Amino acid sequence: MAFFTHQVCRGLSSSAVRAAAIKHVTIIGGGQMGAGIAQVAASTGHTVTLVDTSDDILKKAVKGIEGSLKRVVKKKFADKPEAGEEFIQKVLQNVSVSTDAGAAAQSSDLVLEAIVENLKIKQDLFGRLDKLAPTHTIFASNTSSLPISDIASSTNRLDRFGGLHFFNPVPMMKLVEVIGTSATSQETFDSLLNFSKALGKTPVSCKDTPGFIVNRLLVPYVLEAIRLHERGHGSKEDIDIAMKLGAGYPMGPFELSDYVGLDTMKFIMDGWNEKDPDNPLFAPSEMLNKLVAEGKYGKKTGEGFYKYK
């Protein structure tokens, strides 16, 4: 994938050099996604600084990483417990924590954001870090629905800004969507591709279009399943079974919605509908809106389309 840039003349040879230089990664956001990315990066020999707003959040994140690593060790080092414990300690040594994003960014080759899906908050974060991070530092967002170009607009490094969309749970999911805007340099894009490969992931190239590839296909599919049920053309149970047995999907659309979070599904669809209100694929769902209004977000609240209590 080629992107227009004043730096394209540097060519692919320098891209490989830049990719190799991504050793120190700052991950902002100690939630499930940020901690998962931190674990994978630390496991592949990268020096990681995990940043969040409080020490309590960071302690919980590190504890979660350690617990996840123990589950990995049970499988990979079943017959070598000492080697497994050594692996855990080595990975944890690659992770440091901080509540100061600006200080962390000053020594980073890559700053990756995995915080709340709020455009202004993301813009404010990167706008501030843009003044503090070294010139060579690449910025990236793990957003699943917001345009990368809109987030990048708060900085003066449009050529060194892209998207790295990981999937949950990060240690298990192999895919990474690598997103480039019209301003992302080829050098930056190749660096993000190579970094993803260095993590042991399989990257796919995406343009900065709503939902990129996976969510652009997945979210309208889920919403159409909900509309099918709203019209009385199938029960949620039968629709889920049909897609699992007929299409070979591991989860049906209603099970998947509950797993992802109905509030997340609504947030994504509302954003797309606002930008393209005439697109029937992005039309809101009365049933989804009602469940979210009632606080029934899915598994994380104990009830969504199904009950989990």
Q: Residues annotated in the binding site for CoA, as ranges?
A: 68, 75, 144
Question: For this structure, is 144 an active site residue?
Answer: yes
Q: What is the three-state SS of 2-45? A: CCCCCCHHHHHHHHHHHHHCCCEEEEECCCHHHHHHHHHHHHCC
Active site residue 215: yes
Q: In angstroms, what CA-CA distances link 250 with 116, 121, 154?
A: 27, 34, 39
Main-chain dihedrals φ then ψ at residue 74, nearest 5 degrees: -60, -30
Sign of the CA dihedral 250, 206, 23, 21?
A: positive
Q: Rounded CA gap, 105 and 27, in Å?
A: 9
Would residue 141 show up in a list of annotated catalytic residues for this protein?
no
Which one of 144, 154, 185, 191 is the catalytic residue?
Answer: 144
Of 215, 229, 257, 303, which one is the catalytic site residue? 215
User: Could you tell me which residues are annotated as the binding site?
Assistant: 29-34, 52, 68, 75, 117, 122, 144, 168, 300
The Cβ of residue 299 has, within 10 Å, a number of other Cβ atoms equal to 16
177 catalytic residue (yes or no): yes
The beta-carbon contacts of 195-198 under 8 Å, at least 24 apart in sequence, are 195/19, 195/22, 195/110, 195/164, 196/164, 198/19, 198/22, 198/44, 198/46
Residue 244 CB contacts under 8 Å (≥ 6 apart), including other chains: 250, 251, 252
Quickly list H helices, the chain.
11-20, 32-43, 55-76, 81-93, 101-105, 119-130, 148-152, 186-198, 214-230, 236-246, 253-260, 262-275, 286-293
> Pick the catalytic residue: 177, 187, 255, 303?
177
Question: What whole-number distance in Å separates Cα of residue 251 and Cα of residue 115?
Answer: 26
Residues tagged active-site: 144, 165, 177, 215
